[in-house]
């Protein structure tokens, strides 16, 4: 979700530089919405894990 948000922001900036203002505005709006959805889901996940006390299924120490 965060990757999509950054991608839409970059597309918007590139379109703005090229003069396509409508496409730039639309992609920046989509990027902004995707970013706020990412933040909301992250906060929701944090509080659910805080309340339930469950640990995540991935073991951070063995990722590499």
Contact call for residues 63 and 56 (beta carbons, < 8 A): no
Per-residue pLDDT of the chain (64 residues; tens, 9 = 90+): 778 888 888 888 889 898 888 888 888 888 889 889 999 999 998 888 888 877 666 666 665 5
Which are the contacts of 5, defined by CB distance < 8 A and separation ≥ 6?
31, 32, 34, 35, 38
Q: What is the pTM of this model?
A: 0.68
| Percent of residues in the chain assigned helix, strand, coil, to nearest 5 | 80, 0, 20
**CB 20 within 8 Å of CB 60:** no
Predicted pLDDT at 60: 63
Domains of the chain, residue spans: 2-54
Assess contact for 12 and 32: CB atoms under 8 A. no
């Amino acid at each position: 979700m965060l990757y999509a948000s950054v991608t839409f922001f970059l597309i918007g900036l590139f379109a703005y530089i090229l003069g396509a203002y409508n496409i730039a505005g639309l992609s920046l709006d989509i990027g902004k919405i995707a970013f706020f959805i990412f933040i909301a889901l992250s906060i929701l996940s944090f509080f659910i894990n805080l309340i339930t006390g469950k640990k995540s299924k991935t073991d951070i120490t063995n990722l590499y």
